Amino acid sequence: MIRLVDFGGKGRHRFSPYAWRTKLALAHLGLDYETSEITFLDKSALAGVSDHTQAPVLILGGDVVTDSWEIALYMHATFPAKVPLFADDGQIAFAAYLNAWVPRVLYPIILPMIAVDVITKILPEEQTHYRKTREARLGCSLEEAALNRTALTQDLSAHLEPMRAVLAQSPFLNGTEPGYSDYILGALFLWIRGTSPFQPLCAHDPVAGWRARLFDRYSDLIMATDGYEW
């Protein structure tokens, strides 16, 4: 049985974008798994398993795979599927680009938008740690960062313009069916869904339509967690 080490929050809030990539990929491949969790300060689920301290971690037999991208490549090689995570080397290359681009470009836009809400979804005993580390990263208080949401939303929208061009040609970034490229960006919006009522997309935005199609495809997985519905 596959074991996935996820990142836990308050109640059923599960918002690690990297862990969501892996959970969407597991659902894509139709694989069953059991879950254990770490939090910001409690890493006991990884004791004796890995020195890695971040989610996700995938464990299968003697294999311990860390980093969501390495997990995706491992699953693609280990579990052949009728609809694979990557149809060909071109899709792997495109997903590799997104894997590098999204954390460097989009995550720094999203974090100041939602950090003030994220802190309410983590365990009370970890909120001081979260505030201290995130405010150091942002260079201001969580509340001050959220005051810039309008400009951040405009910045996000501009960066998503190439995605809209792709979606004008197909329902998913991967084509007619979703693939790992969709999961990289879908996980970004699951991070928001799991933490914040703030809506960064207009209802008529093609990206919002894509998000709705993706969330509908994996509704059982997503609705098993707490989050905001737009």
pLDDT of residue 229: 85
**How does pLDDT run across 26-44, given as a tens digit for each residue?**
999 999 999 999 999 999 9
Helix axes 68-78, 17-29, angle to 10 degrees: 10
Query: Residue 158: which pLDDT band, with cuts at 50, 70 and 90?
Result: very high
**How does pLDDT run across 73-117, given as a tens digit for each residue?**
999 999 988 889 999 999 999 999 999 999 999 999 999 999 999
Backbone angles phi, psi at 124, to 5 degrees: -55, -40
| C-beta neighbour count of 136 within 10 angstroms | 8
Coil vs helix vs strand at 229: coil
Instruction: Write down the mean pLDDT value for the chain.
Output: 96
Residue 72 has pLDDT above 80, yes or no: yes
| C-beta neighbour count of 210 within 10 angstroms | 25
Mean pLDDT computed over 213-222:
98
Mean pLDDT computed over 182-190:
98
**How does pLDDT run across 137-146, given as a tens digit for each residue?**
999 999 999 9
Find out whether 198 and 114 touch, Cβ atoms under 8 Å.
yes
The H-or-E segment that residue 5 falls in is strand 2-7
Find out whether 5 and 56 touch, Cβ atoms under 8 Å.
yes
DSSP state of 172: B
Coil vs helix vs strand at 167: helix
Please, what are the domains in the chain? 2-78 (3.40.30.10), 89-223 (1.20.1050.10)
Q: How far apart are CA 122 and CA 164, in angstroms?
A: 33
Coil vs helix vs strand at 58: strand
pLDDT of residue 82: 84
Backbone angles phi, psi at 58, to 5 degrees: -110, 130
